[in-house]
Amino acid sequence: MGEPNDVFERFKAGWNRVKRIYNFDDDEYAMERDTCIRMSRLAFLCGFFVGGISSSKTAHDRYERYSVGKQFYNKRDAMRRKYDYAILMFAKNGFRTGFRAFALAGSVIVLTTHMTVFRDRFSPFYFPIFSGLTALIMHRACGVFAFPLGIYGQFQAIGLGLMTGSTLSAVSWLYTLAIDKSFDESYRQFKADYVQDMNEKNAEELKVTKLMKEEGIKLRMFAYRRLQELEKQKMLEDAGKQDT
């Protein structure tokens, strides 16, 4: 076991690395930062649409029950009220499910990436551990899952978290097996490829923004098309010069 000073220094170094995640001028941990933002946003959007769509039938039946006997000005007014209620319930249930998905998936990704940065080492056990812990906390706090209360329900929540986390661990294991490296080396290889791809996309975004300003293009989709046309034209010109 290390000396207390060594433990404190390692903790301090790990904490300083974690703080660098939130320094947007520091590209060292750009992948961890970008992954947390993207996955949390994707989890919310998926939960929003799934929650809104899955509750649409219940909302429709509920409106039909409560609208019996009520009088409306005309058919148009009745239809408008029906659609307003459907949109309201879609948004309400969508936001509720989206927030839960955001809290669950986002917490697992944030905890996994932050622990990796803190320890400066990746482990496939992070996913099931943090997934099970998050599922237990959320079940106890707000009953996210349709499990009974008490010890039995808590074990079910932990089991679900461990199962989903183990699936992510299996994906990382397959990636490690494919490139024939250790888990930590595979993580660093994936991070290098991710950052390279992200830098290429950011460079393209800067080109699109510059083109929109230079040619007064209002929509980015048109700017993307224009950029592709210019790049193809440049490639043809370069090919023509080589032929001559």
Cβ atoms within 10 Å, residue 108: 26
Looking at 182, 203, 234, which one is the last position of a domain? 182
Helix (H) / strand (E) containing 71: none
Alpha carbon distance 132, 79 (integer Å):
45
Say if residue 106 is in the same domain as residue 205: no
With tokens 């990382």, the residue in question is 172
pLDDT of residue 118: 92
Could you give the residue ranges of the DSSP H alpha helices within 55-125?
56-66, 75-119
Record the tokens describing residue 191, joined without a space: 């991070």
Across 123-127, 174-178, 187-191, 197-201, least confident range:
197-201
pLDDT digits (tens, 9 = 90+) for 49-108: 888 888 888 877 777 777 776 776 777 777 787 888 888 888 888 888 888 888 888 888
Looking at 182, 201, 221, which one is the last position of a domain? 182
Say if residue 190 is in the same domain as residue 85: no
Say if residue 132 is in the same domain as residue 194: no
Closest by CA to 98, choosing from 40, 138, 163, is 40
Alpha carbon distance 122, 29 (integer Å):
14
Say if residue 103 is in the same domain as residue 82: yes
Looking at 160, 182, 204, which one is the last position of a domain? 182
Say if residue 230 is in the same domain as residue 213: yes
pLDDT digits (tens, 9 = 90+) for 135-169: 777 766 665 555 556 676 666 666 766 777 788 88
Alpha carbon distance 98, 52 (integer Å):
9
Say if residue 43 is in the same domain as residue 154: yes
Range of the domain at 24: 4-182
Closest by CA to 29, choosing from 114, 151, 142, 138, is 114
Question: 104 with 157: CB under 8 angstroms?
Answer: no
pLDDT digits (tens, 9 = 90+) for 5-56: 688 888 888 899 888 888 877 777 888 888 888 888 988 998 888 888 888 8
DSSP secondary structure code for residue 3 in this structure? -
Question: 39 with 109: CB under 8 angstroms?
Answer: yes
